[in-house]
Structure 1
Amino acid sequence: MTFSRRTYKAFISATLLPLLCGLGQLAESATVTRPEQLIGATREFLEREVADYLQRSQIQARYQVEVNRLDPRLRLALCDQPLTTKLESPAQPIGRATVRVSCEGTAPWSVFVPAQIHLYRDVVVARRPLQRNSTIEAADITLAERDVGLLNQGYLTSLDQALGNKLTRPLQPDQVLPPSQVSPAEVVRKGDQVVITAKNSTINVRMPGEALSDGALGSQIRVKNLRSGRVIRARVTGPGQVEVMM
C-alpha cells in the first residue's frame, strides 16, 4: 500500500503530533507545579480550616469552599517537599480569603491563592416592614439561612437577642437585622412613678420617685425623690424600678 506525500503528512499530523504533544505535557508535568495542584492544595487546606473553626466555635452551619481560577500559564518549579499552606487573611476562614501556598524545598517559592468561603447560618431577619424606634415582637422577626461571610455589619443568631429591643433604623422584609441597629428598649419613661431602692450591705430602703428621663434596663437616669425633693442618679432595674447604691 502506497501513500502520497499529502496523505503521509496528514497521517503524521493525525497520529504522531498528538502523541508528541502528550509526551511534552507529561515531561513538563514532571518538572513544574501546575495551577491545578495549587488549587487542590488550597481547597483541601480550607476545608480543614473551616471544619476546625466550626468545631472550636461550636457552630452549626453548612459551608462551601470556592477557589478562584489561576492563570493557566503559571509555571512553578516542581517542589521536592510537600506543599505548605497558610491562611493569610482574614483571621477566621469566612468570606473572602487568601491562602499562601509555599514550597520549602531546594527551589523555594510562594504564591497567593484567592478563595471564597461561603458559611451559611440561620440569622435573624425581618418578617415584615418595621419602623424606626419600634419595639421588636415575636411576629416581627424570624430565622433564615444566609451567607454570613457577606454580612459585613454583623448578624444575630437567636430571636431572644432581638425580642423586646428597639430598632434604630427601619427594616424591610427579609432584611438581616444587624446588632448595630438594635438598642435596648426603654422600660421607664420620663414622668413615670418609680420605686427607688437605696441599699448597701446592711440597709435596704424604698421610697417613691419620679423619672426625669427615659431609661432602658441597666441604664442610669435622673430621678426625683418625692419625699426629699432631691434629684439623684439611679440605675434602671426593671419597669418602674430604679436602684441607687449607698
Structure 2
Amino acid sequence: MAPPFSFLRRQWPALALLIASLAGGARAQQAPSQGTEVAPGFVAATQQWLDDAVARSQSASALPLRMEVSVGALDSRLRLAPCGHVEPYVPVGLRLWGRTRLGLRCTDGSVRWNVFLPVTVKAWGPAWVLRDNVVAGTVLTAADAVEAEADWAADPSPVVADPGQWVGQTASRSLAAGQPLRQSMVKPAQVFPAGAQVRVVAQGAGFEVSADAQALTPGVVGQPVRLRMDSGRMTTGVVQDGRTVRLAM
C-alpha cells in the first residue's frame, strides 16, 4: 500500500481547498472553510510521490527512458469534507504510463471520500520517426525513418527501437510524417501469393536437397507456409525469401 501523506493532518482546511481546485469526481457532503490559503506543499508532495513511484516502476527496466510526470487538474466545483489522512494510490488495472489517474482517498474523516487526479507520465527515449507520409502496404526501407527522441508512453503500442524489426516490414495502415514507428504500425511483408511456384530446400548434416512446390497460402518471410509438392504430398515450411521455403529436418 502506498505511504500516507502524514503531514496532511496539519494542513486542513487548506488541503481541502487545494483538492477542490485540483481534483474532479463526486461532490462531497461537507464543504471546507472558505477564504483559506491553499497549501502548496500538497502539490509538491503529490508530485514527489508520483516521481518516486514512476522511478521505482522503471528501476528494473534496461530501457534508456527519460521520465516526465505532470499532475493534471480536477473539477474546480468539487467540495470535500475535512480529512485528517489522505492516502494516494494507483487504481487497480491502471499503471503510471501515458494518460492515467492517481487515486486520493480519505481514511480519517467524518466523511470517507475518494477522488481521482488525472496525471500524465511521459517516457522519452530513442525511436525511429518517419520522414514522410507512408501509404498502407508500403514496404519500409531504412531511408523511411530517422532516429530521434519520442514519447514511448503516448500510445499503448510499444515503440520499435530496433531497425531490424521494421526495415522490410509493411505499413499496416497509412502513417504520417513525424510518427515514431510502433509495433501496431508494421507487419511482415508478403513476398509471394498463394499459388506461386517456390523452391523448397531441405538441409541436413552434410547435404542439401531442393524441389519445386506450389504455395497454398501467401508467403511472409520468417512465417510458415503450406505447400503442395510435385508428388502431391502436403507439407509446411518456413519462408526464407521471395522464392525459397526451407523445410525443417
- Give me the TM-score of the superposition, normalised by structure 2: 0.68
CA distance in 1, matches of 2:214, 2:113: 65
1:72: how far off? 8.4
Structure 2: runs of 5+ lacking an equivalent: 1-9, 19-38
Query: Which structure has the highest strand share of the two?
Result: 1
Larger Rg: 1
Contact 1:165-1:183 within 8 A present in 2 as well:
yes
Contact 1:124-1:144 within 8 A present in 2 as well:
yes
Q: Residue type of the partner of 2:184?
A: S
1:76: how far off? 4.2
CA distance in 1, matches of 2:62, 2:201: 42
CA distance in 1, matches of 2:143, 2:121: 32
Contact 1:33-1:77 within 8 A present in 2 as well:
no
Aligned residue in 1 for 2:34: none
Aligned residue in 2 for 1:174: 178
Query: Which structure has the highest helix share of the two?
Result: 1
2:236 paired residue among 234, 239, 243: 234
| Partner secondary structure for residue 135 of structure 2 | coil
Contact 2:224-2:239 within 8 A present in 1 as well:
no
1:194: how far off? 0.8
1:148: how far off? 3.1
Q: Does 1:195 align with 2:233?
A: no
Structure 1: runs of 5+ lacking an equivalent: 1-28
Greater shift in the superposed pair: 33-42 or 207-216: 33-42
Contact 1:102-1:108 within 8 A present in 2 as well:
no
How many equivalent residue pairs? 212
Higher relative contact order (CA 8 A, sep 6+): 2
Question: Where do residues 1-246 of structure 1 align in structure 2 (5 Å cutoff)?
Answer: 31-32=12-13, 34=15, 35=18, 36=39, 37-70=41-74, 71=76, 74=79, 76-79=81-84, 83-88=86-91, 91-105=94-108, 109-112=112-115, 113-187=117-191, 191-197=196-202, 206-212=209-215, 213-226=217-230, 228=231, 230-239=232-241, 240-244=243-247
What percentage of residue pairs aligned between the two structures are identical?
19
1:173: how far off? 1.9
CA distance in 2, matches of 1:142, 1:109: 52
Q: Deviations over 1:105-163 (max 9, x none)?
A: 46573442222222223323212233332222111112332233332454322222211
CA distance in 2, matches of 1:115, 1:89: 15
